Amino acid sequence: MSNSVIIINGPNLNMLGNREPEVYGNETLEDVEKKCLAWAKELGLEIKFRQSNSEGEIVGWIQKSSSSFAVIIINAGAYTHTSIAIHDALKCCGLPVLEVHLSNVFQRESFRHVSYISNLAKGVICGFGSQGYEFALRAAAKLL
Ligand code: DQA
């Protein structure tokens, strides 16, 4: 548990590979998961990699996370910009949170400049594509 990290991906990230490749690239979420497993192995971390399109399911995973994980890495997709429920769950769980976005949200529409997660997060990584998950895993390894 002390080296376990949960990586939570939010809505529409299951569509990576097909979804706006000019923004998100050509890799699928499965490709990103495989890369994360390899990075985690190198860093001596255990990971659980999850995706859901449902806000409630994500809240449920966060609520249960403190009993099994030491760090949360989250790309909450569009819920980043809307979800007080995910904000409250992250606040309540007490684990360090690392926020990741594939795209540089600050170069995009102004509604993506607001995050309900950033003020709770240890750090925010955006704009590096799937490599952002590597940076977050390295940050998690440093924290543990
Ligand atoms: C995203 C950015 C969000 O604004 C968007 O809604 C996503 C993906 C990213 O990884 O760049 O679904 O979180």
Query: pLDDT, tens digit, for every residue of 101-110?
Result: 999 999 999 9
State what percent of residues in the chain have pLDDT above 90. Answer: 99
* Pairing verdict, β 71-75 and 4-9: parallel
Task: Judge whether 133 counts as a catalytic residue.
Answer: no
Residue 59 alpha carbon to ligand 1 centre in Å: 18
Residue 96 alpha carbon to ligand 1 centre in Å: 21
* Pairing verdict, β 4-9 and 46-51: parallel
Given 24, 79, 116, 133, the catalytic residue: 24
Query: Mind listing the pLDDT tens digit for each residue in 34-53?
Result: 999 999 999 999 999 999 99
Tokens of 40: 């985690």
Average model confidence (pLDDT) for the chain?
97
For the chain, the maximum distance between any two Cα atoms, rounded to a whole number of angstroms, is 39
In terms of pTM, does the model score above 0.75?
A: yes
pLDDT attached to residue 2? 84
Ligand 1 near 78 CB (within 6 A): yes
Task: Judge whether 113 counts as a catalytic residue.
Answer: no
Amino acid at position 13, single letter: L
